[in-house]
A and B are shown apart, each in its own frame.
Chain A
């Protein structure tokens, strides 16, 4: 061999014999499609949209539960006002079978209370423990995502809702837990 830094025939053969393709787990395809749909890059199939309509009471309930848990668990002394207001607004919204205007008014009131709650949280920098703040942030982002999802449902072409969903999706991807090191064993 003229140059010891060149590949030997055996090395070249071994390199050429390495696989150039490998199929991932089949579930990955659906995962990627779902991620594209969440990001507004592929449309949500009609069947899923219909399903979402049936899920809407559940979604409202989930957001309500998150809000109630947050309001109930956080800095009780400073939070009773918002808590009682939120509870009343939620119960009004859940009981409401009235006009769209009434439901919209309830939604606006709940949203205002929620923003006020987060503002109060920001004023408690020193007295609030990190775990509570983390939980509050997660609840806030969950609600934000749910709201953006509903806006996207109401107006599928709304760019702001799509941007929020895409941003939250990217954030969740970035914060995915460290991989469990499911490695290929090269034997």
Chain B
């Protein structure tokens, strides 16, 4: 884990760069971009089920929103936290625009079959299964199980109750297990 000083130094450096960005310093923006974009891009890519084109659009729109609002950022949280919250919102907008045309939905009354806990699991298989999830399940599972957010924080970000996110996580995990079960119906492939 990080030492206590490292995040503070990072935050201070972010703040210095951000102040230069507000003064119109393109080089400072590029440094900020390079520092944070790989995490933003990976998050967007995962939320958007591996669509690189949409993930790039999300990164671009996120940075535009961030620079637009940078002057009002109060530095009460880390810049990266704020960036990720905006990237999440932009990703969800992209998912809404996408609609359901590329989503596979699990019927509410149809619990995924084969939902046994997995004793062997390769990350690549897991990644593929996550990408196959319906967007709602995928979002909660990525935020909780991959990004490590709490249910309270996820609920706040998504505008739902913690109970809802717990329920969605429960179903998402079962869906992943079903997708990765040897006798699954192929929805993960």
Binding site for B on A (CB under 8 A): 1, 4-8, 10-11, 13-15, 17-25, 28-29, 31-33, 35-36, 39, 41-43, 45, 173, 176, 179-187
Contact = CB atoms under 8 A, between A and B. Distances in A.
Nearest to A187: B124
A183 B59 CA distance: 16
A32 B52 contact: no
* Main SS class of interface, B: helix
Residue with the highest number of chain A CB atoms closer than 10 Å, among B21, B49, B119, B127: B127
B67 interface: yes
Contact of A28 (B49, B60, B119): B60
A181 B49 CA distance: 10
Contacts of B108: none
Contact of B59 (A7, A15, A24): A24
B118 interface: yes
8 smallest A-B Cβ distances: which pairs? A179-B53, A21-B38, A184-B50, A186-B128, A17-B123, A22-B42, A14-B121, A186-B127
Nearest to A184: B50
A19 B121 CA distance: 15
Interface residues on B, range: 35 or more
Contacts, number: 129
Nearest to A177: B53
A32 B30 CA distance: 9
Contact of A32 (B51, B63, B173): B63
A7 B52 contact: no
A5 B173 contact: yes
A27 B121 CA distance: 35
Nearest to B132: A186
Contacts of A41: 64, 67-68
Contacts of A32: 33, 59-60, 63-64
A28 B36 CA distance: 13
A1 B21 CA distance: 51
Contact of A186 (B56, B119, B131): B131
B50 A29 contact: no
Contact of A43 (B24, B63, B119, B131): B24
25 contacts: A4-B117, A5-B174, A6-B117, A8-B118, A11-B126, A18-B123, A20-B146, A21-B38, A22-B38, A24-B56, A25-B52, A28-B56, A28-B60, A31-B60, A32-B33, A33-B33, A35-B64, A36-B64, A39-B68, A181-B51, A181-B53, A183-B50, A184-B51, A186-B50, A186-B124
Interface in B23-76: 24, 26, 29-30, 33-34, 37-39, 41-42, 45, 49-57, 59-61, 63-64, 67-68
